[in-house]
Amino acid sequence: MDIKIVGIDLAKSVFQICVCLVDNSIKSNQKVRRNKLLDKIRQFPKGTLIAMEACGTSHYWGRQFQELGYQVQLIPAQHVKPFVSNQKNDANDALAICEAAFRPNIHRVPVKTIEQQDIKALRCVRSRLVQNRTAIVNQTRSLAGEYGVIFSVGRLKLQASLMDALEDGDNGLSHTLRNLLKTLYDDMCALNERIEQIDRDIKALCQTQPRYDALLSIPGFGPIVTASFMSELGSGHQFKNGRQLSAWCGLVPSQSSSGGKVRLGSITKNGSSELRVLLIHGARAVGRFANKRDDKLGQWFNALALRQGRHKAVVALANKLARIAWKILTGNNSFDVNKAFS
């Protein structure tokens, strides 16, 4: 009998494999241990469609199955959950994956290449280091404040004035706190070096990607935003147009309509929150100096900010830049402000 799809519920050591036939009957739904998974998959005909949730280790297994000659689909977990019937267990999860794989209008997650996975890994570590550095800055500021020493707002200003505060013998800091603040300062410097090294590694990896320089030509797209965009989207061909991309990023208004009455609310905040935040930060950086631009981008942003307010204009600009970035990523052109904001 012909196999329609194989759904795999991924795990650490025990996997659930559901085999669905073309007549929609279930041939088998059984557990397989990790060391036997590839042997089990090799029993299926080459070209068989294998579906999995887009979760931890899914890209690794996707690359493994593709190398063996199978088709692979990674489905976002939120689209699988509605198809879990009855009790939640591994067998029902694997069956739900098979059912969700044939639903229309679901954007599959492309299997990441090793290079994209490397960029993603560096970004994850960088994000954690930045959070650690922010925590140290906040702790330094609060501890010094208890002794009457107040630093200016901003990490760079704090680092510049912290050593002067430690050398000032008349500011009320105790000997114990001076040693403690010096240790925190050393931790900040060490984290700065690690973050700068990761930034260099990310840039070196991204420069091997064919459309990296073209994406950098977009206003608001620096090395970090561009790296995030490329590692999350890959080729970008899973989207039909830039509108679908911006909706996937959660940059479009939420809709609650009935009886022909259309009601639009705030942005949906779907998809990757990190990518959405970076796109908005990039748009905010462009918006800061939009009043000094005399090109079509500045005219478009300033007119929108006057009508809708600056915050809404920033989100709208992030939406527009995401669409432009998709067009450049999937095409062969660089950014042209006259075409983008015509």
Q: For the purposes of burial, counting CB atoms within 10 Å of the CB of 320, is it exposed (0-12), middle (13-18) or buried (19 or more)? A: buried
Residues 202 and 214 in one domain: no
- Last residue of a domain, which of 144, 172, 206? 206
Alpha-carbon distance 83 to 7, whole Å? 13
Q: What pLDDT, on the 0 to 100 scale, is given for residue 128? A: 96
Structural domain that includes position 248: 210-339
Question: Does 14 share its domain with 126?
Answer: no
Residues 15 and 74 in one domain: yes
d(CA 263, CA 274): 27
**What is the predicted pLDDT for the residue at 258?**
82
Which of the listed residues 100, 134, 162 is the one where a domain comes to its end? 100
Together in a domain, 148 and 239: no
User: Mind listing the pLDDT tens digit for each residue in 6-17?
Assistant: 999 999 999 999
Whether the pLDDT of residue 195 is over 80: the answer is yes
Quote the mean pLDDT of the chain. 92
- Of residues 1 and 200, which shows the higher confidence score? 200
Q: 340 falls in which pLDDT band (50, 70, 90)?
A: confident
Please identify, among 177, 206, 235, the residue that sits at the C-terminal boundary of a domain. Answer: 206
- Whether residues 65 and 128 share a domain: the answer is no
Stronger pLDDT, 182 or 104, i.e. the higher one: 182
Mapped onto helix, strand or coil, the DSSP state of residue 148 is coil
Residue 119 lies in a domain: yes
What is the total count of domains within the chain? 3
Q: What is the pTM of this model?
A: 0.86
pLDDT at 342 over 80: no
pLDDT for the residue numbered 1: 58
Is there a domain that residue 105 lies in?
no
The pLDDT tens digits for 201-217 are 999 999 988 899 999 99
**Residue 107 counted as domain residue:** no
Q: What letters, b where the CB count within 10 A reaches 16 and e where it falls short, cover 241-251?
A: ebebbbbbbbb
User: Six-digit token pair at 98?
Assistant: 């098979």
Cα–Cα distance for residue pair 89/93, rounded to 1 Å = 6
| pLDDT > 90? residue 192 | yes
Amino acid 69: pLDDT = 95
Confidence of residue 294 (pLDDT cuts 50, 70, 90): confident
Q: Are 199 and 88 in contact (CB under 8 A)?
A: no
Do residues 21 and 88 both lie within one domain?
yes
Average pLDDT over residues 167-187: 92
What does the radius of gyration of the chain's CA atoms come to, in whole angstroms?
25
What's the confidence (pLDDT) of residue 227? 93
Do 123 and 3 share a structural domain? no
> Do residues 218 and 200 share a domain?
no
Average of per-residue pLDDT across 164-176:
89
- Is residue 191, in this structure, part of any structural domain at all? yes
Q: Are residues 87 and 137 in the same domain?
A: no
Residue 322 lies in a domain: yes
156-171: average pLDDT: 91
31 φ, ψ (degrees, to nearest 5): -90, 145
Residue 46's CATH number:
3.30.420.140
In terms of domains, do 118 and 81 share one? Answer: no
Q: What pLDDT sits at residue 334?
A: 87
Residues 24 and 10 in one domain: yes
Q: Residues 40-97: pLDDT tens digits? A: 999 999 999 999 999 989 999 999 999 999 999 999 988 899 899 888 899 999 999 9
106 located within any domain: no
Averaged pLDDT for residues 120-146: 95
- Same-domain pairing of 77 and 158: no
| Beta pairing class for 3-9 and 49-53 | parallel
